[in-house]
Amino acid sequence: MTTAGGRETALGERVVALPGYEVTIGRGALLRAGAIAAATTRAHHYTIIADANVAPHYAQTVRASLALAAPEAKLSLLLVPPGEEHKTRELWSHLTDQLLASGAGRDTTIVALGGGVVGDLAGFVAATYMRGVPVVQLPTTLLAMVDASVGGKTGVDTPAGKNLVGAFHPPAAVVADVDTLGTLPVRELRAGFAEVVKHGVVADARYFANVEALAPRLTAESGARDEAFVDIIARSVEIKAAVVAADERESGQRRILNFGHTLGHAIELVSGYRLLHGEAIAIGMTLEAKLAERLGVAERGTAARIEAALEAAQLATTFPHRFDPREVLEATRADKKARGGAVEYALPARIGAMDPRNGRWSVAVTDEDVLAVLG
């Protein structure tokens, strides 16, 4: 049957379709990761690229699942250190060298096991190795499940900013096992919730209200095992799927998913990645919503409601005044969303709808207005 979060299978999993692949969401879904990977890629060699902290929990399950589904295939495991600071060209180079040394050919499939850093990095390895091999995404963080693993963006960071070197490379499949959230530190869980809130802001006022009400419960110490997460993740994926399907290469409407990310990425960079991605995005969304009200784009009260929802998830929403506003402003200039030297922002019109700006879905903002909200 079809639900608010995609179709439901006989196993009780939710499946959301994107252009060319499907996202499977459920409890215990990693047990079927091998079957899904084998059905979608038929590789001779599966290389799991896993976060070193995640691998002890789940790598053996994935290996066993792959061995059962593809008994003739070669299996290998490459570990990467955790943390955004390791999502670099140097580590990309090291991983591709390891693949070459192992004899991996064009009949190789990369299996990304971990959070958004691993998904972006392993996806970029897959996009560029032998001019492109398949990747199967197995996200183990809330952020990766609702955002990083879906949509086909891959890349690495540079000293100038996040994700400035990368490629569009959609996965062959995504398998999100909600049970993996049980081993996620609560700080990571809360950071991931920022992207959940974002999906409500940009596309679905009813979903936002639901998320707003559930935030205290789902981001509590025991929240990771809450049954509501299956529905929450499925609806977030469905929202992103609809946006990506309409604009796969981010030439128009897909820009709405950048809400909070222009200032958020800049704050994350200036923090030296001491702030988690979702923590920086929570601050970025609050500030950009205030910017939208200042410019007369958003309805009054929009920023306050976004701020309240994020605070209900125990996320900070105020600009960290230990950072220099002008340094943050300067960091936005290297953002991928800059056009013709002007920095563009995707801004909300109200909860559940973004400002279309004559089909551009973003608007150039003056330095004076940005500095005013940074305060």
Q: Are 130 and 62 spatial neighbours (Cβ–Cβ below 8 Å)?
A: no
Q: Are 14 and 22 spatial neighbours (Cβ–Cβ below 8 Å)?
A: no
Q: Are 156 and 124 spatial neighbours (Cβ–Cβ below 8 Å)?
A: yes
**What pLDDT does 336 receive?**
61
Catalytic residue set: 131, 153, 195, 240, 250, 254, 258, 261, 265, 277
**CA-based nearest residue to 175, from 198, 204, 199, 144:** 144
For the chain, which residues score pLDDT lower than 70? 1-5, 10, 335-341
**What pLDDT does 337 receive?**
60
* pLDDT tens digits, one per residue of 158-179: 998 889 999 999 999 999 999 9
Q: Are 156 and 3 spatial neighbours (Cβ–Cβ below 8 Å)?
A: no
